[in-house]
Amino acid sequence: EADIYQTPRYLVIGTGKKITLECSQTMGHDKMYWYQQDPGMELHLIHYSYGVNSTEKGDLSSESTVSRIRTEHFPLTLESARPSHTSQYLCASSESSREQFFGPGTRLTVL
Amino acid sequence: LAKTTQPISMDSYEGQEVNITCSHNNIATNDYITWYQQFPSQGPRFIIQGYKTKVTNEVASLFIPADRKSSTLSLPRVSLSDTAVYYCLGNTDKLIFGTGTRLQVFP
């Protein structure tokens, strides 16, 4: 059983609001990732981190930002939400080159 | 990064063996090949990982030829619950998921 958590699971918010999606893992993994996925579509890597104070942008350009101050915590922030940000956001972690563990996801709807 | 190519979709019937092939022509020498399964509204779940030859676990088998330019995921005797999207990843650094293969199992 993977110990990776995301909150909230569902979020409906108005345009222009600042939001932070939380992701935490208790496995001590150095690598953490954020993916964005629309229904029935492929996953897009938007951010990743190889450890504390390390963050990189993924292959899909995103207006979100991330931080990695603690190993177990990798929050994603949108300063000003827009309807185009409506999607599912999946957080994952891994140890070295081994399997990734995914959280349950946050389904974001921006009105 | 190793770009992977898989069939977009496959159909099967319950009880049949399903083989999904993935090509990864420019896989790096130190990269593993990993397969994931994803159900709707859930995050992907690890199925199997290998470097070369054959790997088997309680869920699937993975066949990788000597040149490592392709791999085949084999699901023995599929059931309706195996209906999902299956992704192969040819890199273990910045993990990029392609479009995957949508497997539909019919009764």
pLDDT in tens, B45-58: 999 999 988 999 99
Contact list, A43 vs chain B (CB under 8 Å): 44, 87, 97
**What would the pLDDT profile of B5-27 be if each residue is shown by its tens digit?**
899 999 999 999 999 999 988 88
**Chains A, B: CB pairs < 8 Å:** 50
Tell whether B29 lies on the interface with A, counting CB pairs under 8 A.
Answer: no
The residues pairing with B62 across neighbouring beta strands, listed in sequence order, are B55, B73
Q: Which of B50, B43, B39 is nearest to B89 (CA)?
A: B50
What is d(CA B100, CA B22) in angstroms, rounded to the nearest whole number? 9
Chain B residues 47-66 with a CB less than 8 Å from chain A: 49
Note the pLDDT of residue B2.
Answer: 57
Dihedral sign from CA coordinates of B26, B28, B34, B36: negative
The pLDDT-based confidence of A6 (bands split at 50, 70, 90) is: very high
Distance from the B41 Cα atom to the nearest Cα atom in chain A, whole angstroms: 8
B49: left (phi over 0), alpha (psi -120 to 50) or beta: beta
CB–CB contact B95 A94 (8 Å): yes
How many Å is the maximal CA-CA distance in chain A? 39
Pick B43's closest partner by Cβ from A39, A45, A103. A103
Distance from the B46 Cα atom to the nearest Cα atom in chain A, whole angstroms: 6
Residue of A70 and B25 predicted with greater confidence: A70
Residue of A77 and B98 predicted with greater confidence: A77
Residue of B18 and B4 predicted with greater confidence: B18
Task: Give the mean model confidence (pLDDT) for residues B65-80.
Answer: 94
User: Are B19 and B103 in contact, with CB atoms under 8 Å apart?
Assistant: no
Q: Which of A109, A5, A111, A106 is nearest to A46 (CA)?
A: A106
Rounded to 5 degrees, φ, ψ at A57 are -80, 145
3-state helix, strand, coil in chain A (%, to 5): 5, 50, 45
Contact list, A30 vs chain B (CB under 8 Å): none
Note the pLDDT of residue B8.
Answer: 94
CB–CB contact B43 A92 (8 Å): yes
